[in-house]
Structure 1
Amino acid sequence: MKRLILAVCVAFVSYLAEAQIQTPQPSPKSKLEQKVGLTDVTVEYSRPSMRERVIFGDLVPYGQVWRTGANQNTIITFSDDVKVGGTQLKKGSYALYTKPGQDNWEVYFYNDTNNWGNPEKWDESKVVAKVSAEAYELPFDVETFTIDVDNLTNNGASFGIFWEKTYVSVPFEVPTVEKTQANIEKVMNGPNAGDYYAAAVYYLQEDKDLDKAEEWIDKAVSMQKEPPFWMLRQKSLIQAKNGDTKGAIETAKQSMAAAEKAGNQDYVKLNQKSLEEWGAM
């Protein structure tokens, strides 16, 4: 009888677990991803709706710090260093807080994103950028709280905050000029040692033109003041596979000496094993 009761209880609990009712969230989560110039910008936030309520000055009081959304604090992520309100921000994620006013808002970028709503204790030292933004009155209602990335240019954009009859714009700048110039200089200067190395190793692994692989690995090595042991290791493998056992042995010895100097015993053993296979030990 006890076993029967236990079985029934287990079945009932399992049924309840499977019968969890899913209902719409009153403030659904949203994720916005936008490329601004060459920088990736992501906004993650929850979106409450008016539902016939008075928002600013009532539900969201004037002069108090607001999570700028609902539930967990709004998080903005930049893939590059950017500039907000004249302040340089390192790439990474920031919580977005605001202090709404009738005519102006204070906008805060806060470097602690692990808060549910407002921080339990506001820490001014965590405010890495502060912007004063004018609040504009819209000629219509925006039912659902919205953050957009608008006013896009190659060098920046704005975070647009919309709700009720209020619009606030927070401009930011991205380093498109610097990144583009760096890319141009890299391409115009030709491949670097890493490019030649990667191409050579790929040809080795895929059994492609080994003469070309050897040409590229030689260029990679020649561009290094002290070629690293791992690069020399790959050169020795390319030489051996291309039929130059004598050259492979010489390069493997150089790789082993460099590995010993760097304290990397794994590569010392790899080179020793290859030298044994090639009859040099």
Structure 2
Amino acid sequence: MKNSLSVLSILAFSFFLTELSAQHFNIHNPIVLPDKSQQSTIIQRIGYTDITISYHSPGAKGREIWGKLVPYGKVWRAGANENTVFTITDDVHIEGQKLEAGSYGLHLLPEENQWTFIFSKNHTSWGSYFYLEKEDALRITVPAVNTDEKKEWMSFDFDHRGRDGASVVLSWGNKRAEFNLSLDIDQIALDNIRKQLRSDAYWEWFSWCQAADYCAEYKINTEEALQWIDRSIALRENFSNWDVKAKLLTQQGDEKGAEAAIQRAVEVGDEIHLERYGRRLLKQEDFDGAEFVFRQALKKNNSYWRAHFNRGNALKGLGKKKDALKAFETAIKYAPEDRKAQIQNSIATL
């Protein structure tokens, strides 16, 4: 009987300890503590495309990094804690190879003189412990170079930024490597522009003008851009949309049509747009054309001091110093006080 009571007492005590242990290690509501390897996010927008890298940044803390803390020949998570995540909102090319829009686990296979960046379709796992090669979306290998300055904290950065791409740099300790990223900026832009023109922008002359001017600036999609600018003109003609049409027709080689378009732009333009156009001609050293445009601006507003001032600059370029002096003197008459000294300096150069 005593033995039976002893066994029951032991079992009861064991149950109590088990319950106490379960309560002690209840992790349903853990608290959040500061990360030793700080969480970092870097975002670069190229055109409409966002490239985001989310990672935890470990510190060197006096340790030898490459070949020691991070072994050569072994897949590493390119950071600390959970996956480093590489996200792109449009298709891109990494070192010439296509990578579709989406999120990827970014891993690194380092060697002494070259690093292989691995983009895995699995981006939700912890570090590289669950990495599977069969889940690779892309691998690219680039040179790893030594640096003079040791970097304490591992970091990703964007470098060599251009209109249609950038390079992504990983650096830590005394080494760094980078890979090039590029995208079809024109196609992505045109797709986005077309979508926007099917929204409220459809009813705005300025939206169609913006879209056409983008094409004119980069000399793309000229045929469709001419349709867009005609839509803008139909909604409300003004200097801006006729000016864009002139640019597009010039790119098509239609010089006669372009000349007619710019003449119409001058006819319907206000003094501010005409003065700006005249300055554009001044930069091109088309002094005759600029002087004519400034005169047209003054027909619309004879007290516009900027038009008098820049007409003086055009006349100066034509060698007509007396006429230039008259234009400058008229500009002083209408100019605000803080601009009169600028005009006086121009008179002095005569």
What TM-score comes out, normalization by structure 1 length? 0.57
Q: Does 1:109 align with 2:127?
A: no
Match of 1:75 among 45, 70, 85: 85
The answer (yes or no) to whether the contact 1:37–1:153 under 8 Å persists in 2 is no
- State the shift of 1:175 in Å: 2.3
1:166 to 159, 167, 175: 175
The CA distance in 2 between the partners of 1:44 and 1:183, in whole Å, is 26
TM-superposed deviation, 1:120: 2.4
SS of match in other structure, 2:119: strand
**Among 143, 150, 158, which residue is 1:149 paired with?**
158
Unpaired segments ≥5 residues, structure 1: 1-12, 200-281
Q: Quick one: distance in 2 between partners of 1:107 and 1:23?
A: 31
The whole-number CA distance in structure 2 between the counterparts of 1:107 and 1:22 is 31
SS at match of 1:66: coil
- Structure-2 residue corresponding to 1:207: none
Please name the residue that 1:278 is paired with: none
Q: Is the 8 A contact 1:47 1:69 kept in 2?
A: yes
CA separation of 1:130/1:196 partners in 2, compared to 1, >3 Å: closer, same or farther?
A: closer
Worse-superposed segment, 164-173 or 86-95? 86-95
* 2:234 alignment partner in structure 1: none
Give the letter for the 2:118 counterpart: Y
C-alpha deviations, 1:151-200, integer Å up to 9, x for none? 1111111110010010100111122121233456x39xx954x659999x
Cross-structure match for 2:146: 137
The worse-fitting range, judged by mean Cα deviation, of 175-184 and 66-75 is 175-184
Cα 1:198–1:90 change in 2 (3 A) is farther
> Moved runs in structure 1, 4+ residues, more than 4 A?
20-23, 194-199
Distance 2:201 2:88 in 1: 31
Cα distance in 2 for residues equivalent to 1:67 and 1:94? 12
- Pairwise mapping of residues 177-192 of structure 1 onto structure 2 (< 5 A)? 177-183=186-192, 186=194, 191-192=197-198
Q: CA deviation at 1:86?
A: 2.3
Secondary structure at 1:56's aligned position in 2? coil
The number of aligned residues is 177
Amino acid at match of 2:80: A
Of structures 1 and 2, the one scoring higher in RCO (CA 8 A, sep 6+) is 1
Q: 1:27 to 1:191 in 2, by over 3 A?
A: closer
TM-score for the superposition, normalised by structure 2: 0.46
Shift of 1:121: 5.1
Deviations 1:133-153 (CA, angstroms, capped at 9, x unpaired)? 100110010000001122111
Partners of 1:132 and 1:175 in 2: CA distance: 22
Which of 90, 93, 112 lines up with 2:100 in the alignment?
Answer: 90
Maintained 8 Å contact 1:94/1:113? yes
Q: Is the 8 A contact 1:37 1:156 kept in 2?
A: no
Separation of aligned partners in 2, 1:99 and 1:110:
12
Aligned partners of 2:83 and 2:106 also within 8 Å: yes
1:146–1:161 contact (8 Å) kept in structure 2: yes
Unaligned runs of 5+ residues in structure 2 are 1-22, 205-350
SS at match of 1:33: strand
Task: Tell me if structure 2 keeps the 8 A contact 1:68–1:98.
Answer: yes
Aligned: 1:128 with 2:140? no
Give 1 or 2: higher strand fraction. Answer: 1
2:164–2:183 CA contact under 8 A, matched in 1: yes
Q: Which residue is equivalent to 1:56?
A: 66
Letter in 2 for 1:179: I
Q: Taking every aligned residue pair, what percent have the same amino acid on both sides?
A: 31
What is the deviation of 1:32? 1.2
SS at match of 2:144: strand
Normalized per residue, the structure richer in helix is 2
- RMSD, aligned α-carbons: 2.8
The answer to which of 30-39 and 165-174 deviates more is: 30-39
Q: Which moved more, 1:85-94 or 1:61-70?
A: 85-94
